[in-house]
Amino acid sequence: MFDHAENGQRVRGEFVDIAGERYYAIRHVDKMQPFFVSVVSSDDHWLFASSTGGLTAGRVSPANALFPYVTVDKIHESITHTGSRTLLRVYGEHGFELWEPFNREQAGRHPVTRNIFKNTLGNKLCFEEVNHDLQLAFRYTWMTSRDYGFVRSCELENLGARTLRIDLLDGVQNILPAGTPLFTQTNVSNLVDAYKWNELDESTGLAIMTLYSAITDRAEPAESLKATTVFNLGLQDPTILISSVQIDAFRAGLELQPEPHKRGIRGAYLVGVPLQLRDGEVQRWRIVADTAKTQKDVVALRRALREKAEIGDAITRSVEEGSDKLARILASGDGFQATAEEAVSVHHYANVLFNVLRGGIFFDQYTVRSSDFSRTLRHFNREVHARHRELLEGLPPELGVEELLARVEACGDPQLLRLAGEYLPLTFGRRHGDPSRPWNQFAIRLKDDYGNALLSYEGNWRDIFQNWEALALSFPGFIGSMIAKFVNASTMDGYNPYRITKEGIDWEVEDPADPWSYIGYWGDHQVIYLQKLLELSSQFYPEWLPGMLRAPRFCYANVPYRIKPFEALLEDPKATVLYDEDLAQRIEHRVATLGADGKLVLGSDGQVRLVNLLEKLLVTLLCKLGNLVVDGGIWLNTQRPEWNDANNALVGHGLSVVTLCYMRRYVRFLSRLLATEDGSFTLSAEVKQWLTDTASALHGLRAQLQPGRASAELRYRALAELGQAASRYRDAVYGLEGFSGQIEQPASEIRLMLEDALAVIDHGVEANRREDGLFNAYNLMDLRDGAAETESLYPMLEGQVAALSSGAIPAAEAATLLESLFGSSLYRPDQHSFMLYPDRKLPSFLEKNRISAAEAEAIPMLRRMFDKGDERIVARDAEGCYRFSSEFRNVSDLHAEVDLLVAEYGTELEAARPALVALYESVFHHKAFTGRSGTMFGFEGLGSIYWHMVSKLLLAAQENFFAALDHDADAEVQQRLGDLYYRIREGIGFNKTPAEYGAFPTDPYSHTPGHAGARQPGMTGQVKEEIITRFGELGLRVADGLARFEPALLRRQEFNGQSRDFRYLDTESRWQHIEVPAGALAFTWCQVPVIYRLGAVNSPALTITRNDGSEQRLEQLSLTAEDSAALFRHGGKIRRIELTLGASMLFNTRHH
């Protein structure tokens, strides 16, 4: 529905129907600050648009851009020269009036209303401008087609009561020829222009835009044999321009001249045509563009364009097929719901969409393509592939993953079991890159070089596993493979590499020319992401983990990083990781001969060294315990920060309470997992020794802990003992590049170590409780003279999330902590939500770097330099204020300058060095510097809300609500926790107006700075947490392999007031429809539709409809083990689940 009334100038948002499709509309979008939008596709298209109309788009990756891939700030400003461009000469009695929709440079010429619409499916974006003077509405919609590329569908509507004569000039500008190198376009775009060759096939209106040759300075020919193509449909005999040079002539009223050929300038595709529009008439046309077309493709397209009607129908079908395919992908991930709160349902869909875009989706539920499995096997290990060629060739083209694993199990080859156990047939994923995150390069790889469907995934290690956690709720049968992939990527020293792809692991290599490149290991994600997967496994498949604890099916990544010995860590905790060039070369050689398994630790037989799952879980824990500072946290000494990488300066002197809290949850879980284990476990000899040394240190430490904080001396002694144990272990395994053998470790001794570790951790968590009711997130450590002094930093939101997630806080205290948050300096009332850390007043430019005369003259060396007029260290300004040299960025520059001047000033200057350094620190306070988080004002900077952390808080609040429910906590405490959960939820975007949120409210965005609306659309970690919390709101819970329904947090307002249709995709990939009656809601779980009905019943009931049409009514709201397994398996045995609930089972929110 297009609303053409002026309706004032107030920004408003609403859901509307357009051509039978649901959209979210933002009216008067031009009254908002520009914001960024991600438009998705079921294929390899990507499109990122500004609310101003500026955009970039292309296929596969930025290397195949249709419009220049530039940063978001430039896209906001690009509307006049890139992308859509429209001009109209509207004739009246006194000549023509010029109207240029969406041109902000024409503001004030006409009263206009600008609106933007995005369909709820996420693959169409419509811009509309209504000219109230001329009684005209112009709109265009971007959509995609697998076969034809990008479709820009346009409409010009006469809203008045008279016939209008109009000259139209419409199209797209700054079209890139195929093959334009990204670096060249970004840095020397004028050079690219010099190679451009644009031609028009006048018989069909097809524009062909190419580089006449590849851009190179080498003395060799370089043909460029791919083209960008553009054509139009729907206009009668238009004049076609393939550049923008005649726009000013059109403005002046001149007649357009055809442009059959242009070279050396930017390409455009503009169609000029005279129109007669009767009252109420709508003129429609389309402009279609695609890139990377071969000469064969162009010839075929030119022939097809001779039949305009047929190609128009084909484009329409292709667009519809793409929408259907996208809907199928999201339906398989349980993306669709039918509730009374449309914003809630649409927001859940958007969360599932972007979670799938980042983490991927399983290509056909639990079906495996044997050809892909065989290719994957060969890629990783050619020897294993060759050994089992007969098995692989005998597999059917497709088979279930359970059948595949059974056949592999029968072979008895542990290497084959390892590779099959971590196999994940994912597709559709890509890294979270876009012009607002230009540092992340993405590629949408859905086809191989021959056009065949390709299974692939890639992501930063600290991102992709969180997306898989949410995906696992809909595909729990792959949880074991996710865990295997996780632990098989961890190293002997207990860390993980930078990136995970279907092809294996990658690590960072430092490039001296790139200030953003660095090496090291990230921290906190390692524990909590693994822990969440372990918990899911225990809930869905309680027998799997115990069965794997002793199974030698797991391995170690062999990342060529070497952490320095403990003494070196003490000496310089910021420079602790070395890159082993020799090892890197050996790994490269192994990969060339063996396959991607060459990046793993190998045994003496040249095969991948295999260990059991318990060893992998223990090494992850031991590496953290090796950096434990009692009551301070986990020492960040591997050159990389934790979740918030803007706190990168914490590395070296920072201590993470966040990781300490997550370790508590991990240790508790391991203790329960091993509680009933008897006998012993086989461990690598060096791991056993590390475990023994760590256990001894913890046992002794526990005996020395008293109420209150530990002394600085005890902290140092404990750190030294734990750190030396870890250092000895690293020295041994680095030297061996593996292990010397295996040895048995009694389960009872492991349990004792975990018990001592838990006691020490609990002491540390309690020690970090603040007087304001919050918890520390990080501390600073100062090592000196056998003591480890600690200093607390300001509160951070992630510290509260970790404390709430740790399981250390009773329900009533959790509620009090959440209430304290709303009264803390972390709360931003304008957004009803929480910043990462408190905003603070910063000194102005001239208030910084001030040294009093007394401080300066207290250092005799400075007085001597002043007498000589030497201002190379400290200068005096015209107002008598002393200041350090403006050339100094940090204390290292001060040291460097002192080093240079020692030759001139001698030992007196060297003796003054400590005083100068102390003065520098007193002026700048760099020891408290946490990183760019305290010096920037967007992203993770001051004043910013990071929505991922808010959603983590939401999940932590929900976990505490259900923990209170499970432990039968006081009813008032349960109510408080539920109320606080919804109070946190109210601050998330989908509850806001577009003006409040600054973007489409139902879409996830990364952050909201203090001075602007939501920023960085789409692929944020927020989506994973909110998928999980949505499952929780609906009461979907699993324990001991049994699915149960406990909607204790679901509110009555979600139940539909009238009947409605619910479309879902069944487990056989067929669209089905269910009528959802009034007083009910519907959703899917593992693609099985679930309907909740409100009824006047004292006892609830559950009805299962099976695939044969039979029904079974149960009194309990849980499934049997057999039915639960059938649900999780997507097996089709259950057709529908229907529950009748009493209103008393739901949650009633109290107003705050």
Q: Check residue 435 and give its pLDDT.
A: 87
What's the domain range around 135? 12-331
State the pairing for strand pair 1134-1141/1088-1094. parallel
Q: How far apart are CA 1140 and CA 1100, in angstroms?
A: 5
Rounded distance, CA 1138 to CA 1062, Å? 14
Q: Looking at 331, 352, 386, which one is the last position of a domain?
A: 331
Question: Do you know the residue count of the chain?
Answer: 1152
The string over 153-174, giving b where at least 16 C-beta atoms fall within 10 Å of a residue's C-beta and e elsewhere, is: bbbbbbbeeeebebbbbbbbbb
Provide mean pLDDT across the span 622-634: 97
Is residue 164 within 8 A of residue 93, CB to CB? The reply is no
Residue 1: band (very low, low, confident or very high) from pLDDT cuts 50, 70, 90: low
Closest CA to 786 of 882, 878, 875, 721: 721
pLDDT digits (tens, 9 = 90+) for 936-949: 888 888 999 999 99
Residue 535 and residue 682 in one domain: yes
CB contact at 8 A, 78 and 70: yes
Site of tokens 């670096």: 183
Q: H-helix or E-strand containing 919?
A: helix 907-924
8 Å CB contact between 1002 and 447: no
Cα separations in angstroms, 471 against 243, 666, 759, 801, 964: 46, 21, 34, 22, 26
Based on the fold, state whether residues 631 and 750 are members of the same structural domain. yes
The mean pLDDT of 13-25, rounded to a whole number, is 97
Residue 524 — very low, low, confident or very high, per pLDDT cuts 50/70/90? low
pTM value is: 0.96
Across the range 980-1006, mean pLDDT stands at: 97
769 lies in the same domain as 890 = no
Domain membership flag for residue 877: yes
Average pLDDT over residues 696-708: 96
Q: Are residues 920 and 1060 part of one domain?
A: no
* pLDDT tens per residue, range 562-581: 999 999 999 999 999 999 99
Does 861 lie in the same domain as 796? no
Letter for the amino acid at 594?
A: L
5 pLDDT exceeds 70?
Answer: no
Domain annotation covers residue 343: no
Q: How confident is the model at residue 6 (pLDDT cuts 50, 70, 90)?
A: low
Inform me whether the pLDDT recorded for 975 exceeds 80. Answer: yes
Place of tokens 């487990």: 1067
Give the N- to C-terminal CA distance of the chain in Å, as an integer: 37
Q: Which two tokens stand for residue 431?
A: 């890294």
Q: For residue 232, count CB atoms less than 10 angstroms from its CB and return exposed for 0-12, middle for 13-18, buried for 19 or more.
A: buried
Amino acid (1-letter code) at residue 616: K
CATH of the domain at 148: 2.70.98.40
Count structural domains, the chain: 4
The Cα 319–Cα 846 span in angstroms is 58
For residue 551, count CB atoms less than 10 angstroms from its CB and return exposed for 0-12, middle for 13-18, buried for 19 or more.
Answer: middle
pLDDT in tens, 385-433: 999 999 999 999 999 999 999 999 999 999 999 999 999 999 999 888 8
Interatomic CA distance for residues 341 and 349, integer angstroms? 13
Per residue in 862-907, pLDDT tens?
A: 999 999 999 999 999 999 999 999 999 999 999 999 999 999 999 9
In contact, 1047 and 1146? CB cutoff 8 Å? yes
Tens digit of pLDDT for each residue in 706-723? 999 999 999 999 999 999
Residue that finishes a domain, picked among 300, 331, 362: 331
Backbone dihedral region of 746: left (phi > 0), alpha (psi from -120 to 50 degrees) or beta? beta
Assigned domain for 952 exists? no
Q: What is the dihedral of CA 195, 201, 202, 203, to 10 degrees?
A: 180
Tell me which of 908, 928, 948 is where a domain ends: 928
**Where residue 346 falls among pLDDT bands split at 50, 70, 90?**
very high
Query: Does residue 73 form part of some domain?
Result: yes
Mean pLDDT of 718-747: 97
Q: Which residues contact 722 (CB under 8 A, 6 or more apart)?
A: 625, 626, 627, 628, 694, 697, 698
Sign of the torsion angle spanned by Cα atoms 852, 854, 860, 864: positive
What angle do helix axes 613-625 and 657-674 make, rounded to 10 degrees?
150
Distance of CA 35 to the CA centre of its chain: 19
Average of per-residue pLDDT across 928-942: 85
Confidence band of 308 (pLDDT split at 50, 70, 90) = confident
Planar angle of CA 990, 436, 142, nearest 5 degrees? 70
Q: If pLDDT is split at 50, 70 and 90, which confidence band does 928 have?
A: confident
How many angstroms separate the CA atoms of 657 and 647, rounded? 14
Query: Are residues 767 and 877 located together in one domain of the fold?
Result: no
Q: What 3-state DSSP class applies to 789?
A: strand
CB 333 within 8 A of CB 325: no
Q: Specify whether the CB–CB gap between 950 and 834 falls below 8 A.
A: yes
Across the chain, what does the average pLDDT equal? 95
**Contact (Cβ atoms closer than 8 angstroms) between residue 704 and residue 714:** yes
Closest alpha carbon to 1097 in 1083, 1113, 1075, 1086: 1113
Other CB atoms closer than 10 Å to residue 449's CB: what's the count?
Answer: 6
Same domain, 799 and 866: no
Q: What is the pLDDT of residues 808-867, one digit of tens each?
A: 999 999 999 999 999 999 999 999 999 999 999 999 999 999 999 999 999 999 999 999
State the pLDDT at residue 964.
98
Mean pLDDT of 961-974: 96
State how far the alpha carbon of 61 is from the alpha carbons of 445, 1015, 1018, in Å. Answer: 9, 21, 17
Q: What pLDDT, in 10s, does the model give residues 1001-1022?
A: 999 999 999 999 999 998 888 9
Residue 7 above 70 pLDDT?
Answer: no
Could you tell me if 758 and 863 lie in one domain? no
Residue 1142 has what pLDDT?
A: 92
**How crowded is the C-beta side of 158, counted as CA atoms within 13 Å?**
17
CA–CA dist 230, 152 (Å, integer): 11
Does residue 800 contact residue 953 with C-beta atoms inside 8 Å? yes
Report the alpha-carbon distance of residue 788 to residue 715 in Å, rounded: 6
CA proximity to 1021, closest of 466, 448, 382: 466
Percentages helix, strand, coil for the chain (3-state, rounded to 5) are: 40, 25, 35
Is the pLDDT at 1144 greater than 70? The verdict is: yes
* CA distances (Å), origin 194, targets 158, 663, 697, 883, 1048: 42, 59, 69, 50, 66
Of 495-499, 790-794, 805-809, which gets the smallest average pLDDT? 495-499
Does residue 462 lie within any of the structural domains?
Answer: no
Same-domain check for residues 159 and 248: yes
Find the mean pLDDT for residues 461-473.
91
- pLDDT for res 751: 98
Residues 20 and 119 in one domain: yes
Would you state the structure tokens that stand for residue 723, as one six-digit string?
């750190």
Query: For residue 4, is pLDDT > 70?
Result: no
Indicate the DSSP class of residue 881: -
pLDDT tens digits for range 662-680: 999 999 999 999 999 999 9
At residue 436, the pLDDT reads 87
What does the pLDDT look like over 222-280, one tens digit per residue? 899 999 999 999 999 999 999 999 999 999 999 999 999 999 999 999 999 999 999 99
Orientation of helix 947-966 relative to helix 971-986, angle to 10°: 160
Answer yes or no: are the C-beta atoms of 319 and 288 closer than 8 Å. Answer: no
Q: Classify residue 448: in a domain, yes or no.
A: no
pLDDT at residue 217 tops 90 = no
pLDDT at residue number 547: 97
- Model confidence over 1122-1133: pLDDT tens digits? 999 999 999 999
pLDDT of residue 648: 79
Residue 800 covered by a domain: yes
Taking only the tens place, the pLDDT of each residue in 592-615 is 999 999 999 999 999 999 999 999
144 and 54 co-located in one domain = yes
| Cβ 223 vs Cβ 191: under 8 Å | no
> Measured between alpha carbons, how far is 113 from 879 in angstroms, rounded to an integer?
54
More confidently predicted of 65 and 518: 65
Asked if residue 232 belongs to a domain, the reply is yes
Round to whole Å and give the CA distance between 329 and 335.
9
Could you tell me if 538 and 682 lie in one domain?
yes
Give Dmax (Cα) for the chain.
100
